[in-house]
Amino acid sequence: MFQDEQRMPKPSRRAALKAGAALLGAAALPMGWMRGARAADSFPALGTYPDGSSGSSVFIGVAVPRTGTYAVQGEDEFKGYELAIEHINGGHDLIKKISPKTTKGVLGKELKFGVADSAAKPNEAVQAQQRFISENKAMMITGGTSSAVAVALNKLAQREKVLFVCGISGSNDTTGKDCVRYGFRQCFYGQTAAAAISPLLIKTFGKNKKVAYLTPDYTYGHTVTKSMQDNTAAAGWTTVTDQVSPLGAPDFSSYLLNVANSGADILINVNWGHDAVLSIQQAKQFGVLDKMKLVVPYQVPFLARETGGLMQGVYSATDYWWAIEDKYPLAKMFNEAFEKKYGYKPEWGAANSYISFAHWARMVEETGSFYPPDVIKTYEKEETIPSLVGDVHYRKEDHQCVRPVIIVKGKMEKDMKGKEDYYDVVEIEPGAGLMQKPDAFGCQLGDYT
């Protein structure tokens, strides 16, 4: 369950203080290391600070699902982290575009990491990250994929006073009622997905439609379904059935039988990962897709490959699709670097985890210290910063990144120009107009210390 990719030795607080006292003799050291040494002398101990940043390296804890229903996305997400760490440690040009003060490492310190398999289970993720914090003095923890995991890691981060930078989480609650001062999210979520895709669906399919939902039974599923219902209600779209299934359900036949008999015009499938694959395939087998249109409001691109062409003509919202490289130069740089290392074009999870990590590096560099409250306050300045999808910023009230949502439509096989050319980009919707007011979902960030 626990895999330690690189275990750093436990640093000595006394050694760090001696290093600070000997600053005059440290002129040959990297400037970032000197800033980190001064910072270690300047603030009281908090969380893993200063022990976790007093040596020549800094440890990051990663928890992603490598087994279970979200394993494919977890591996993709992990590759994004892996590439980001490699680029930060090596001073890659793409990282410098996002974080201009980065040379090699963060504040001159090499990044090391451990990775654990969360299996999309909150308890597994929390136990692994608690170990990274206690044993490795992790200065930042990351991961997610399951929103239940993200919410649990939010709470851990706030309690331990260690930053949690979420890689993937689609629930409104992550930066809504379950938000914390020590948590940040870069990816889009249920409300923004629904607000982006609903006008296009209404324009395409018309008003007064009867809708059947397939909803996974946890925070992600319920908040995405609610957001879709809220954003289509004014056009007269009504829910005729909402079939709620457990995460990792092996068989959707009973739910699909109810959908097939519901008289719905449209099936909105909120399932994600392998659950989305199975439910779409079984919907075809039950004849559901012959009777009603399929919409996947929140998806990852691999669905097109795994469902064997069933995403052709289907509208969906996504964070990232490689074809946007014609519009965004940093996306092109990322695509090229990822494909060179892994042999295929990057997907949604890898793009999210990479840019989340790169943004954290920028915030620490801009702060000039790893001291958590000051890094948080740098995020909260709402500075416009680069990303793979253009300029973005983080809202100070809920720590949600204000970023665009990409609407895609599955290409017909005859129109594909290559084996990975699954989607046409239909629209790229700016984020600010899609987001709820900062207090609408009950966010109360909590304390810095």
Q: What share of the chain is helix, strand, coil (3-state, %, to 5)?
A: 45, 20, 35
Q: How far apart are CA 194 and CA 211, in angstroms?
A: 14
pLDDT of the residue at 41: 52
pLDDT of the residue at 126: 95
Q: Using the predicted structure, report yes or no on whether residue 419 has a pLDDT greater than 90.
A: no
H or E element that contains 59? strand 57-64
pLDDT of the residue at 6: 42
Q: What percent of the chain has pLDDT over 70?
A: 90
Nearest of 330, 337, 332 to residue 362 by alpha carbon = 330
Tell me: the pLDDT tens digits for 244-286?
A: 999 889 899 999 999 999 999 999 999 988 899 999 999 999 9
Tell me: the pLDDT tens digits for 422-439?
A: 999 999 999 999 999 999
Could you list the beta-strand ranges (E) of 270-398. 293-296, 315-318, 393-394
Average pLDDT value for residue range 437-444: 94
Q: Using the predicted structure, report yes or no on whether residue 22 has a pLDDT greater than 70.
A: no
Tell me: the pLDDT tens digits for 327-373?
A: 999 999 999 999 999 999 998 899 999 999 999 999 999 999 999 99
Classify residue 85 by burial, with Cβ atoms within 10 Å: 0-12, 13-18, 19+.
buried
Q: How far apart are CA 4 and CA 184, in angstroms?
A: 24
Q: Using the predicted structure, report yes or no on whether residue 14 has a pLDDT greater than 90.
A: no
Contact of 160 with 268, CB cutoff 8 Å: no
Answer with the residue of higher pLDDT: 143 or 324: 324
Could you list the beta-strand ranges (E) of 270-344. 293-296, 315-318
Tokens linked to 387: 């990303």
Contact of 180 with 198, CB cutoff 8 Å: no
pLDDT of the residue at 228: 97
pLDDT of the residue at 301: 67
Q: How far is CA 57 from CA 132, 207, 362, in A?
A: 15, 57, 17
Q: How far apart are CA 174 and CA 236, in angstroms?
A: 29
Cis peptide before 30 (omega within 30 of 0): no
Q: Using the predicted structure, report yes or no on whether residue 12 has a pLDDT greater than 60.
A: no
Nearest of 305, 337, 303, 300 to residue 320 by alpha carbon = 300
Nearest of 242, 228, 257, 251 to residue 69 by alpha carbon = 251
Q: Using the predicted structure, report yes or no on whether residue 383 has a pLDDT greater than 80.
A: yes
Tokens linked to 385: 């910063």
Tell me: the pLDDT tens digits for 54-113?
A: 999 999 999 999 998 888 888 989 999 999 999 999 999 999 999 999 999 999 999 999
Answer with the residue of higher pLDDT: 178 or 72: 178
pLDDT of the residue at 68: 86
Q: Using the predicted structure, report yes or no on whether residue 176 has a pLDDT greater than 80.
A: yes
- 166 forms beta bridges with 143, 185
pLDDT of the residue at 91: 95
Chain centroid to Cα 253, Å, comes to 31
Q: How far apart are CA 147 and CA 158, in angstroms?
A: 17
Classify residue 433 by burial, with Cβ atoms within 10 Å: 0-12, 13-18, 19+.
exposed
Q: How far apart are CA 333 and CA 92, in angstroms?
A: 10
Q: Using the predicted structure, report yes or no on whether residue 37 has a pLDDT greater than 50.
A: no
Q: Using the predicted structure, report yes or no on whether residue 167 has a pLDDT greater than 60.
A: yes
* Range of weakest confidence among 35-39, 179-183, 184-188, 375-379: 35-39
Q: How far is CA 42 from CA 46, 101, 370, 371, in A?
A: 12, 21, 11, 9
pLDDT of the residue at 356: 97
Please provide the average confidence, as pLDDT, over all residues in the chain.
90
Q: How far is CA 321 from CA 226, 302, 312, 345, in A?
A: 25, 11, 16, 9
Assign residue 436 a region: left if phi > 0, alpha if psi is -120 to 50, beta otherwise? beta
Average pLDDT value for residue range 211-216: 97
H or E element that contains 226? helix 219-232
Average pLDDT value for residue range 369-391: 98
H or E element that contains 424? strand 423-429
Tell me: the pLDDT tens digits for 218-238?
A: 989 999 999 999 999 999 999
